Amino acid sequence: MKQLINRGLLLIILTLGLILRVAAQSTYVHLTITMNDGTEETYDMLNTSYMYFDNGEKLVITETIDKMTTVAYPLADIRKITCQEVEGLDETSSLDVAFFPNPVHDKVTFRNVRGKQTVKIYALDGRLIKATQIDDNQTVDVSTLPQGLYLVNVNYNTFKMMKL
């Protein structure tokens, strides 16, 4: 239970902080939630929209542009949360960074990175394990990391990574 609460707190720091920062500067935020099975749910969120973590177990989204409903997702089912700043209804800038392989043994490669970005790898308890600068199609050596699950943050994207 404590690990789940710590994971929820880390996701709050990484994701909610980014959404609030982007939302304060833009007309609305386009939020994409990628599930572990590869399916995606998208939401367009106003500055008055809410996203929060309920009991460290669920991601709750409410008051989106096209829906006034509340939706909850179990954190264990979420692979990635992506936020995109949108200036107008027809304009979106892709921030869809990808990495492979996952699970990883020694090196992980990042794609769709725009310019120089910082990759941060966190343990599930919120400790920053590694931070490094990358460009597109650059690999990061993770061979020294112990086996386990990690959260990887780069360019408004947060991923789960399994180290074997």
Tell me if 60 is assigned to some domain. Answer: yes
In angstroms, the Cα distances linking 121 to 55, 60, 112, 144, 149 are 24, 24, 18, 12, 10
> Residue 141 is encoded by which pair of tokens?
């050596």
Q: Are residues 24 and 79 in the same domain?
A: yes
- Residue ranges of the chain with per-residue pLDDT less than 70: 1-28, 46-48, 63-69, 86-95
In the prediction, which pLDDT does 163 show? 92
Location of structure tokens 């979420």: 78
This prediction has a pTM of: 0.47
In the prediction, which pLDDT does 93 show? 41
Q: Are residues 57 and 128 in the same domain?
A: no
In the prediction, which pLDDT does 141 show? 94
In angstroms, the Cα distances linking 46 to 14, 28, 33, 116, 127 are 19, 5, 17, 29, 31
Q: Are residues 82 and 7 in the same domain?
A: yes
Compute the half-sphere exposure of residue 65: CA atoms within 13 Å on the CB side of its CA: 14
Phi/psi-derived region of residue 127, left when phi > 0, alpha when psi is between -120 and 50, beta in every other case? beta
In the prediction, which pLDDT does 24 show? 41
Where among 54, 86, 118 does a domain terminate? 86
CB atoms under 10 Å from CB of 27, counted, come to 15
Number of domains in the chain: 2
Q: Are residues 79 and 6 in the same domain?
A: yes
In whole angstroms, give the CA distance from residue 43 to residue 39. 14
Show the domain range for 33: 2-86
In the prediction, which pLDDT does 92 show? 36
In the prediction, which pLDDT does 51 show? 76
Tell me if 36 is assigned to some domain. Answer: yes
Q: Are residues 105 and 126 in the same domain?
A: yes
